[in-house]
Each structure stands twice: as C-alpha cells, then as structure tokens.
Amino acid sequence: MPVKNRFAELQQDITAWRRDIHENPEILFETHRTSALVAEKLRAFGCDEVTEGIGRTGVVGVIKGKSDTSGKVIGLRADMDALPIHEQTGVAYASKTDGAMHACGHDGHTAMLLGAAQYLSETRNFDGTVVVIFQPAEEGGGGGKEMCDDGMMDRWGIQEVYGMHNWPGVPVGSFAIRPGAFFAATDQFEITLEGKGGHAAKPQETVDTTVMASQLVLSLQTISSRNADPVDPVVVSVTSFETSSKAFNVIPQRVHLKGTVRTQSKEMRALAEERIKAICAGVAATFGGTADVTYHLGYPVMVNSEEQTAFAEDVARSISGQCDEAPIVMGGEDFAYMLEARPGAYILVGNGETAPVHHPEYNFNDEAIPAGCSWWAEIVEQRMPA
C-alpha cells in the first residue's frame, strides 16, 4: 500500500494549515490559538467527540469506525508547541512572534495528524475507535505527562498509542524506528560550590572555588569513561559555569554550575545521579569547600514496545518500501509518559537534507506530509481492519 491518493489531494490544504501554525508559534502550554484551530477543524471534519483542555491546553478527538466488533481503541499523538528561538529561515510564512519558532517541526506533526483525522472521519474504514491526541508542552513542559495525569488513557479507553517525529537527514517519505529504549531520559543538575573568597594575589588565604569547579567539570566525565558500562550510554554535560565575582583580581566565594544527564536505562539513570553527588562531595572536600547538589528528574527513557514497533515498521514499509533501524537518540521525548501508560511505538519520518531540529534555520519539509499522513491512516486501517 503506497502513499494514499487522498493525501496527495489534501496536501495543499494540509500545507496551508502547517504554514499558518508555523507563522503563529506558541510555547509550552500557551498553545491557545493552535489548540482552538485544531478543535475547530476536528469538529468540521465530523469527529464524534472533541474535548479541549486536557493537560491544560491539549485537545482530544474521537473518531468511530464503521463498526466496533473489535472493541479496539488506538491513540495517535502529535505535539503542538514551538521553541523559544528566533527564526532565521527567511521563508514567506516565517514566525510572526519574535523569539518563538517551530524549530522542531511540531507544526508539521499537528498538520499531518489533522490530515489523517480528516481522512479517517471521511472514510471510517476500520473496526474500532481512534483517539487523536494533540499535546502541548513537549519541549520541556511535560505536556504528555499532564494529559496522562488528567486521566486521558482511561477516560477514552486507549489500548495502544502511536507517535511520529520528522527527522532531518532521513530521505523524505522514508521511515526509521527501533524497538526498546529509543529516546533518552533527560535529567538536570545544579551545583553550588562554596569556598573562601579573597584577593587573587593571595590565593593561599582562599579556598578557590574556580579551581574546585574546574576540577569538578573534568571529574564528572569519569562517570561515562570509568563508571558506566560502555554499552549502556550516558552523557553528562556541564552547560553553565558562573562565579560570584566579576572582578579580575578577586577569587570568588561561590561558583554555580548547571548541566544535563542523558541515559538509556533506569539503572544508568540511578547510577549517574549517585555518582554526581558523590564526586561533588569528594572534590569539594579535597579543596576544603562544600558542594550543594540539586538533581531534577526530567523525562524518562522512551521505550518502544516490541510488538507495536514491529507492526509500525511493517506499516511504514508498506507505504514507502523502506524503514531503517533508527539510531539511539540521546535527546528527550515526553511521549515516553504515554508509552509508560500504554504499549505503543514512536517512528521517525524523513525530512530530507534540512537544517537540524532546534536550529534557527530549520523548517519542516511539506513534501513529507503524504507519507506521514498515510502512516497514521494505515496504522488504524491495518490494526483495526473493517
């Protein structure tokens, strides 16, 4: 089954929706305009039920098939939020909001799921129920968790859930997926080192927090090189180094560090936190200072279910003839919360040779729309055949 002809017919409309969303980006849970647009279109398509305000600003639509002898309920999820980035694409439909842009393609995800919802509402060529999920705040806000915490899975009886993300560097119209751990857990840490400030000409009278912090930044890298199993990935990155002094001749009393930890297993996630705290205490004690560590647990590891991944891969191959094994991704994805709640799978659809996501020159490739929409529709029609 190649790309569905109906999506070739709808591509111009879906592209127009996508570009309208692109022009009007909204960050985190502030997706009021986007959510209203989604709800309006779902009602116009004839969805059996449209509910707003799930997970604050999320939207859920229900589409019933021609029959329901299977009793199956499948969820399809797209994210709606943008990023706090100043756009530099130069396209005619560039962001009208300074400091906000769709730099990750969520405008494309939303538009493709809307296209699939229109087709499924028109044809209803399946036996069961589809729940289309439009989620806010994927980019650090945990909107997926909020929708689950609002009781979404139980309220609509969702049994399986599927997600999709565009991927630069993968040919347009092709797919990639992997079973098991896929996207990383994303945790954060803050470290405050306290020493004894003083004049830079008299270092012997101080406890130098700059030297202490410099040693700590290097020591934290031993978690990956000496504590971790080499086949269980972990990334520890210190991304901010601030001292309490702005003068050239003052050794600061205090240094504040920030960073992130990325892991692919619960075991490594726990080990990384344990070792960061232990290394901080040890390095601070060595220099005669103290270390206060605050550790923030972020998104969990996103784990694709074996059975649903195999099915999603077969569907992708039926559309494009190609579905490669995706690499492990050390970025985070809060679809992880939905996959913790229900079995399912997350797939990558090719965006072609474009700028990477989270880059000010990134732009979703509208040529990917027919393939993405077809995958959504085929997930439903093949999983719940009429």
| pTM of the shown model | 0.96
What does the DSSP assignment read for 216-249? HHHHHTHIIIIIS-TTS-EEEEEEEEEES--STT
Is residue 276 within 8 Å of residue 261, measured between CB atoms?
Answer: yes
How many CB atoms within 10 Å of residue 249?
8
What does the DSSP assignment read for 10-75? HHHHHHHHHHHHHHS--BTT--HHHHHHHHHHHHHHT-SEEEEEETTTEEEEEEE-SB-SS--EEE
For residue 62, is it left (φ>0), alpha (ψ between -120 and 50) or beta? beta
Query: Which residue has tokens 């965006």?
Result: 351
Give the model's pLDDT for residue 128: 98
Question: Residue type for 315, please?
Answer: V
Give the pair of three-digit tokens for residue 26: 């909204």
Task: Give pLDDT tens digits along the chain (386 positions).
Answer: 578 899 999 999 999 999 999 999 999 999 999 999 999 999 999 999 999 999 999 999 999 999 999 999 999 999 999 999 999 999 999 999 999 999 999 999 999 999 999 999 999 999 999 999 999 999 999 999 999 999 999 999 999 999 999 999 999 989 999 999 999 999 999 999 999 999 999 999 999 999 999 999 999 999 999 999 999 999 999 999 999 999 999 999 999 999 999 999 999 999 999 999 999 999 999 999 999 999 999 999 999 999 999 999 999 999 999 899 999 999 999 999 999 999 999 999 999 999 999 999 999 999 999 999 999 999 999 999 99
Domain boundaries, the chain: 5-183+301-383, 185-299
Domain 185-299 CATH (choose: 3.30.70.20, 3.90.550.10, 3.30.70.360, 3.90.1150.10)? 3.30.70.360
Give the model's pLDDT for residue 3: 80
Give the model's pLDDT for residue 317: 97
Is residue 28 within 8 Å of residue 86, measured between CB atoms?
Answer: no
How far apart CA 186 and CA 175 sit, in angstroms, is 25
Kindly tell me the sign of the dihedral angle through the C-alpha atoms of 33, 38, 39, 43.
Answer: positive
Burial of 220 by CB count in 10 Å (0-12 exposed, 13-18 middle, 19+ buried)? Answer: buried
Q: Which CATH code for domain 5-183+301-383?
A: 3.40.630.10
Kindly tell me the sign of the dihedral angle through the C-alpha atoms of 262, 300, 29, 87.
Answer: positive
Domains 5-183+301-383 and 185-299 share a fold: no
Give the model's pLDDT for residue 322: 87
Is residue 117 within 8 Å of residue 42, measured between CB atoms?
Answer: yes
Give the model's pLDDT for residue 153: 98
